[in-house]
Amino acid sequence: MKTKVFIDGESGTTGLKIFERLEMRNDIELLKIASHLRKDSSEKRKLLNAADFVFLCLPDDAAVESVSLIDNPDVRVIDASTAHRTNPDWDYGFPELFAKGKQYERIRQSKRVAVPGCYASGFIALVFPLIEAGIISRDDSLFCYGISGYSGAGKPAIAEYESPDRSSELGSARMYALSQSHKHQPEMQKVCGLTKTPMFSPIIDDYYSGMIVSVPLQAGHESAAIKDVYRSHYCGENSRVRLCEGENVTFLAANSLADSDDMEIYVFGDGERVLLSARYDNLGKGASGAAVQCFNLMK
């Protein structure tokens, strides 16, 4: 029997990518809502409760509303919005979070999974293992910066960047969230168990997809010890995260893993100045790829 899947928000960037990944699979039946009924709550309720799995690719308020419409206890939900990422009743959809497969098992058995934010995925991949190993303290004041392609900003931004009449400013890297109130910061802090909200400086640039998230450390850390932690933490057979070693890197391009579901971890420098970097696709391991990875575990 085929697994019934409903993608609520199929027309958005993440929803479309999930649909593309699932439509060719012969083990899945994709339930669809007619375009003119997308805002019809009664029609949506039917589909939400008829599915074995529901992907939510919606604004936060709409995601919460859709969950409230589900009364079938057997429906399993994978939410790609920000709405439930810090909710203790939801399992965090980063399978590699803990070493030795603990998070894989939680996701495998879960009925409610919240997929990480794109920037948060890189930050947590870099910071969480080092906190667990005692290399970084939960009380440390951490700074993070990241650069992403414009696809991460959704359909309106994609249209703006790809318009022939676009502003000349779109041809350069642009900082945003300057007020230090980015929606991923609560997630970064809570999942890593930090006592202080990390400072975060995101940048959007003039290319479609791919991203790098970096965390600098200046407290006399040994890069060899950090690499040992990552090597051990991400050694699982099913891990999509890997430590890159022995590579002479002069430039690190943010779009090199576009269309991939993998994440690469880099450790640069040593001693007083160490730079941790995670490279991946904001639409892959940072969004739809992560959602499908969780689905494959749960199915």
pTM: 0.95
Active-site residue flag, 118: yes
- Percent of the chain exceeding pLDDT 90 equals 89
- Band the pLDDT of 220: cuts 50, 70, 90: confident
> CA-to-CA distance for 126 and 114, rounded, in angstroms?
19
Q: Is the pLDDT of residue 17 over 90?
A: yes
pLDDT tens by residue, 167-213: 999 999 999 999 999 999 999 999 999 999 999 999 999 999 999 99
Give the chain's radius of gyration (CA, Å). 19
Q: Is the pLDDT of residue 38 over 80?
A: no
Contact yes or no for 65/79 (Cβ under 8 A): no
pLDDT at 247: 72
Which token pair is 12? 């958005």
Q: Is the pLDDT of residue 39 over 90?
A: no
Q: Rounded to a whole number, what is the largest CA-CA distance in the chain?
A: 60
- Band the pLDDT of 243: cuts 50, 70, 90: very high
Write down all domains in the chain, each with its CATH number in brackets: 3-116+288-298 (3.40.50.720), 118-282 (3.30.360.10)
Q: How would DSSP label each residue in the chain?
A: -PEEEEEETTTSHHHHHHHHHHTT-TTEEEE---GGGTT-HHHHHHHHHH-SEEEE-S-HHHHHHHHHT---TT-EEEE-SSTTTT-TTSEES-TTSSGGGHHHHHHHH-SEEEPPPHHHHHHHHHHHHHHHTTSS-TT---EEEEEEEGGGG-HHHHHHHT-TT--GGGGS-EE--TTS--TTHHHHHHHHT-SSPPEEEEEEESSSS-EEEEEEE-S-B-HHHHHHHHHHHT--TT-SEEE--S---S---TTTTTT---EEEEEEEEBTEEEEEEEE-TTIIIIIHHHHHHHHHH-
pLDDT tens by residue, 123-144: 999 999 999 999 999 999 999 9
Count the Cβ atoms, other than its own, within 10 Å of residue 178: 9
Q: Is the pLDDT of residue 246 over 90?
A: no
Name the residue with higher pLDDT: 138 or 249. 138
pLDDT average, residue stretch 108-121 = 98
Name the residue with higher pLDDT: 137 or 100. 137
Contact yes or no for 245/238 (Cβ under 8 A): no
> Of 118, 144, 192, 294, which one is the catalytic site residue?
118
- Band the pLDDT of 1: cuts 50, 70, 90: confident
